[in-house]
Structure formats: C-alpha cells, structure tokens
Structure 1
C-alpha cells in the first residue's frame, strides 16, 4: 500500500472509532439514568478495575496493555463525567 491508501485506511478506522464512541456514550447515558433512578453511585471502582483487567488481557504485549489501560481509563472518566451531568453534578 502507498501512503495515501494507508491514510485512507486510518481515516476509515477513525470514522468507525467515532461511531462506536458515540454508541458507547449513548449507552453510558442510559446507565447514568438508571443509576440516578435507583440511587446508585456513579463511580463503581470494582467494575472499572474488572473491566480494565479484561480489556488489558486482549493486548499482545506489555506496551499494548499500558496503552489500552490508559485509553479505557480515559474513556471511563469521560463516561463518569457524562453521568455526573445527568445527576446534575456538572
């Protein structure tokens, strides 16, 4: 592949990431509404730790594990911020 073709492939992946991010955040909004109705805390450290462990296990090597953990830790932080907004804690 030439550079232009590789960049096009990267663009396609980026578009898919954005689509999936929007879907994930929509689901996080639903979770936030559920938690609010049921007087549940936004932050569930046990769930997040378990989820990060599972996601990191999908990595091929230690470098990937660190990057995956960083990426999903940040995504989870953004999810909590959205839920805090739903709770009126913005």
Structure 2
C-alpha cells in the first residue's frame, strides 16, 4: 500500500515474495504462507526495520517507531547481523 512505501514510513521496504513457496532454493517465511494478516503485517514491519538497519541505519533516527520497535532495533544492533547485499 502507499502507506508502506519508504518515502511515507522512513524505512526501506520489506522483502516481497510471490509463489512458489521457495525461490532459487530460498524458502519463503512460513508467516507469509500462514494467511494470518496481523502476523504478516508484523513480519513485514520487522523486516523493513531490519533491512533499514542493515542498509541505511541513519534513516531509523527519523523513522516513526513504536517503543517495541525501538527495543527491536536496540537488540538487533547488539547482535551480529549477517550482511545483506545491496541488490536484494
């Protein structure tokens, strides 16, 4: 939706998948296959935060994050985040 676009949220977009449930050997998250829309929305938001932290962490300073999301960022910053190539 337009409200999820990076220019509206201040975060990079979450990964987007389509069928089949695995692509090039990479499985799609079970959450996305579950049909639980609330859990899917939460997963997408967390993935957008993670992707932003990996690629453009300076954007998080101005992002509209909840207290829980700020805690998530703090935990992720303390953990060893695996690298992600810029093209994904």
Flag whether TM exceeds 0.5 (same fold).
no
> Which one has a bigger Cα radius of gyration?
1
Higher RCO (CA 8 Å, separation ≥ 6 residues): 1
State TM-score, norm by structure 2: 0.29
**Structure with a larger share of its residues in helix:** 1
